[in-house]
Amino acid sequence: MERYSPAAEKNKGPILEVLRERLAPTARVLEVGSGAGQHALHFTEALPTLRWQPTEHPAVLPALASNLATAGRVAILPPLVLDLAADSWPTGPFDAVYAANVMHIVSVSLGEALLRGAASVLGAGGQLLLYGPYRFEGAFTTESNAEFDQWLKARDPASGVRDFEAVAAVAEAVGLVLEDNRAMPSNNQLLCFRREARA
Ligand SMILES: C[S@@+](CC[C@H](N)C(=O)[O-])C[C@H]1O[C@@H](n2cnc3c(N)ncnc32)[C@H](O)[C@@H]1O
């Protein structure tokens, strides 16, 4: 598998348990930043009636497409390009938008583009599920997350662990109401938002 992520392998089990609770069996899910496709493969193996739409930045799409083609999973649609910087999203509506470990990789403005784009493609009552580390009231939840933030910024100064409150405020402004802020293993959170009905 190209671009295999050990972290994705470790967190896929606990995330699946939350998806089981929150997603209808035939939910149409749009994944942003699918990476190697490990989450798409794991979740659709356990929940084979989902319709999972993986996406990636154009630079990563070929590796993702190659990994997914090998598996030939019916529940996974052919992966599409989604570059948050280009702001062109697949046509919805989707029942859920899922992004794992993307908010701290992209800049603050691209993170906001993710929230806006998710709100635009979700049907009323649809969910945005964001997995990753966050800061709360300006503080890291652990020393290891503070070190991770330093490591991210040394690599790309525009990246970094985001403030939960800032993400939740932008989400609310675009019509996404926070329903759950769930602590997950390895000092991560799963933020679960629900799309309000449009006026
Ligand atoms: C840390 S990886 C997470 C991959 C996967 N979701 C996982 O949990 O293993 C972050 C992902 O964000 C994607 N990404 C970075 N910039 C992006 C952009 N502008 N638009 C869409 N995806 C982007 C990267 O290609 C990468 O696959």
Ligand 1 atom closest to residue 35's alpha carbon, by position in its atom list: 27
In-domain check, residue 43: yes
Position 47, amino acid: L
Render pLDDT for 76-119 as a digit per residue (tens, 0 to 9). Answer: 999 999 999 998 899 999 999 999 999 999 999 999 999 999 99
Q: Do the domain assignments include residue 46?
A: yes
Q: Does 28 reside within a domain?
A: yes
Residue 69 pLDDT level (bands cut at 50, 70, 90): very high
Ligand 1 center to 48 CA (angstroms): 24
pLDDT at 199: 62
Domain range for 56 is 6-195
Query: What's residue 197's pLDDT?
Result: 81
Phi (first) and psi of residue 155, to 5 degrees: -80, -45
pLDDT reading at 198 higher than 80? no
Give the pLDDT of residue 88. 87
Helices 38-46 and 6-22: crossing angle in degrees, nearest 10, is 40
Residue 133, Ramachandran bin (φ over 0: left; ψ between -120 and 50: alpha; else beta): beta
What CATH number has the domain bearing residue 133?
3.40.50.150
Atom 10, ligand 1: which residue's CA is nearest? Answer: 102
Q: d(Cα 52, Cα 140) in Å, to the nearest integer?
A: 32
Percentage of the chain exceeding pLDDT 90: 91
| pLDDT (tens digit per residue) in 139-149 | 999 999 999 99
Structure tokens at 89: 């999203």
pLDDT attached to residue 1: 84
Top mutation candidate among 39, 57, 115 for ligand 1, by most atoms within 8 Å of CB: 57
Dist. CA 23 → ligand 1 center (Å) = 22
Name which residue sits closest to atom 11 of ligand 1, judged by CA.
33
Separation CA 104–CA 99 (nearest Å) = 11
Residue 147 maps to a domain:
yes
Judge whether 56 and 79 are in contact, CB under 8 Å: yes
Q: 100: helix, coil or strand?
A: strand
Q: CA triplet 149, 151, 154: central angle to 5 degrees?
A: 110
Residue 1 belongs to some domain of the structure: no
Q: Which helix (H) or strand (E) holds 63?
A: helix 61-71
Give strand ranges (E) for 2-93.
28-31, 51-53, 55-56, 80-81
| pLDDT tens digits along 7-29 | 899 999 999 999 999 999 999 99
| Domain total of the chain | 1
CB of 2 closer than 6 angstroms to any ligand 1 atom: no
Smallest CA-to-CA distance from 34 within 91, 86, 76 is with 76
Distance 105 CA to ligand 1 centre (A): 7
pLDDT at site 60: 97
